[in-house]
């Protein structure tokens, strides 16, 4: 019988993979906050801080596609080691340059570009290792634990950033983040599971570009994945709020930084609770209907979020949004693992990550534009309506999702 809670940690290789991922995620959050803070402190320009999103979008699209094909061509553990190593070197260099007074906005953007790229290189390789480490019956257990862990890192990383930045300076923030990445670089060496994919004969003589195109074709012809990815894009594009929480805190609750912090923390805590709920639903075989139920719930809660004017009700609502989103993430990850052969998993995951990251960036622009035009409350209500409509369309038009069952 599948064990919930800490059951995923029964697997030795997963403990190592988890530790590497947690330290890498903490380093990522420290980099995100450290670079944004440096740009704001040095330039005083919110526009230059906002340019971070443009830099990341430019580098993440090609890198994510490349990363998926690489994960199906080379040893995935070595790819993780290389990626974390480049991240560590970049962050430590940023810290050194800041310490000696040579750091400039151009170099900060370059560091952002490099570390955003290396972060995307890790994702498909790491995700493709999960089905090698876990038996099929425990894949939902693994993805739910991953989702909870990523949200724990989203709390721990900013706390460590705040402690170091307050006690010392941003130079030490960058160096400490580099140290976390260095530890992440070492751990894949100790994983016993094979990092090499089960290469298909069709892939053997092909170039990386040809394999990338094959990945597009595979996902496009898959009975379930296009619908799941489109569902995520439709909902996220209309409602992505994490990057502009200050706008929502002010527009919905007339709050400042403290309200923003409480909303962000509540969202992460809700996502952790949602991941635990997904663990309890491991035995629920109708995984396709589960993601549809969670998506409907997300749209309804989003609609409600736009109608409340009490900060405490807003904290409850955004926590529930995090919970519903965590369930959909866990199910999408599990579905890719269950329905994709090993030699294609890296490419399938890269397209999932590409869809998610692109939707996140477009969603930030969408929510920001409409919040300025019609108000934050009406924007959330509009997002709830679009999310419910998108879910209903996928429910009606993509029968394989409704019919999908796991063993």
Annotated domain spans of the chain: 10-189, 208-407
Q: What tens-digit pLDDT sequence spans the chain (407 residues)?
A: 344 445 789 999 999 999 999 999 999 988 988 888 888 788 887 677 767 877 888 888 888 888 888 888 889 999 999 999 999 999 999 999 999 999 999 999 999 999 999 998 998 999 889 999 998 888 888 888 888 888 888 888 888 888 888 888 889 999 999 999 999 999 999 999 988 877 655 555 567 788 888 888 999 999 999 999 999 998 988 888 776 676 778 888 887 766 777 887 788 889 889 888 887 887 788 888 999 999 999 999 999 999 998 999 999 999 999 999 989 988 888 888 888 988 888 888 888 888 888 888 788 778 777 887 888 899 899 999 999 999 999 999 999 999 988 76
**Residues 141/279, Cβ–Cβ less than 8 Å:** yes
- SS3 of 258-317: the string is HHHHHHHHHHHHHHHHHHHHHHHCCCCCCHHHHHHHHHHHHHHHHHHHCCCCCHHHHHHH
* Angle of CA points 211, 213, 216, to nearest 5°: 115
Give the chain's count of helices (H) and strands (E): 15, 0
pTM assigned to the model:
0.77
In the block, residue with structure tokens 């919110």: 46
User: Rounded to 5 degrees, what angle do the CA atoms 259, 264, 268 make?
Assistant: 150
State how far the Cα of 382 lies from the Cα of 241, in Å rounded to an integer. 13
3-state secondary structure of 254: coil
Q: CA 131 to CA 123: how far, in whole Å?
A: 14
The CATH class that applies to domain 10-189 reads mainly alpha
Joined tokens for residue 68: 């998926």
Please answer whether residues 378 and 258 qualify as being in contact, where contact means their C-beta atoms are separated by less than 8 angstroms: no
List the structure tokens of 162: 């705040």
Same fold, 10-189 and 208-407: yes
The answer to whether the CB of 76 falls within 8 A of the CB of 125 is yes
Rounded CA separation 137/116 (Å): 33
Which among 194, 179, 157, 41 is positioned nearest to 105, based on CA atoms?
41
CATH number of 208-407: 1.20.1250.20
């Amino acid at each position: 019988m599948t064990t919930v809670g800490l059951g995923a940690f029964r697997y030795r290789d997963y403990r190592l993979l988890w530790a590497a991922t947690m330290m890498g995620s903490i380093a990522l959050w420290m980099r995100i906050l450290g670079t944004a803070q440096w740009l704001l402190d040095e330039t005083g320009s919110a526009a230059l801080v906002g340019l971070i999103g443009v830099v990341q979008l430019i580098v993440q699209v090609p890198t994510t596609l490349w990363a998926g094909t690489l994960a199906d061509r080379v040893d995935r553990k070595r790819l993780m080691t290389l990626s974390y190593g480049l991240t560590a070197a970049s962050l430590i260099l940023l810290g050194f340059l800041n310490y000696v007074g040579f750091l400039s906005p151009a170099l900060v953007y370059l560091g952002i570009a490099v570390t955003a790229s290396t972060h995307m290189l890790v994702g498909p390789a790491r995700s493709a290792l999960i089905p090698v480490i876990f038996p099929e019956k425990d894949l939902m257990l693994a993805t739910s634990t991953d989702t909870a862990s990523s949200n724990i890192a989203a709390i721990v990383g900013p706390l460590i950033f705040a402690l170091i930045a307050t006690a010392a300076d941003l130079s030490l923030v960058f160096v400490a983040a580099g140290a976390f990445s260095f530890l992440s670089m070492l751990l894949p060496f100790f994983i016993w599971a094979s990092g090499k994919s089960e290469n298909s004969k069709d892939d053997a003589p092909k170039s990386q570009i040809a394999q990338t195109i094959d990945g597009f074709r595979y996902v496009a012809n898959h009975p379930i994945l296009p619908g799941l990815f489109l569902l995520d894009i439709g909902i996220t594009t209309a409602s992505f709020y994490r990057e502009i929480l200050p706008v929502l805190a002010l527009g919905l609750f007339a709050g400042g930084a403290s309200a923003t912090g409480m909303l962000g923390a509540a969202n992460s805590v809700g996502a952790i609770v949602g991941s635990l709920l997904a663990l309890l639903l491991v035995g629920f075989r109708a995984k396709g209907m589960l993601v549809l139920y969670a998506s409907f719930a997300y749209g309804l809660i989003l609609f409600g979020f736009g109608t409340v004017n009490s900060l405490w009700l807003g904290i409850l609502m955004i926590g529930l949004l995090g919970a519903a989103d965590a369930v959909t993430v866990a199910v999408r990850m599990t579905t890719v693992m269950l329905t994709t052969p090993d030699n294609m998993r890296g490419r399938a995951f890269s397209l999932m990550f590409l869809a998610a990251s692109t939707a996140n960036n477009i969603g930030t622009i969408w929510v920001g534009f409409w919040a300025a035009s019609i108000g934050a409350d009406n924007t959330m209500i509009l997002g709830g309506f679009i999310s419910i409509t998108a879910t209903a369309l996928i429910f009606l038009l993509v029968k394989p999702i409704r019919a999908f069952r796991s063993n």
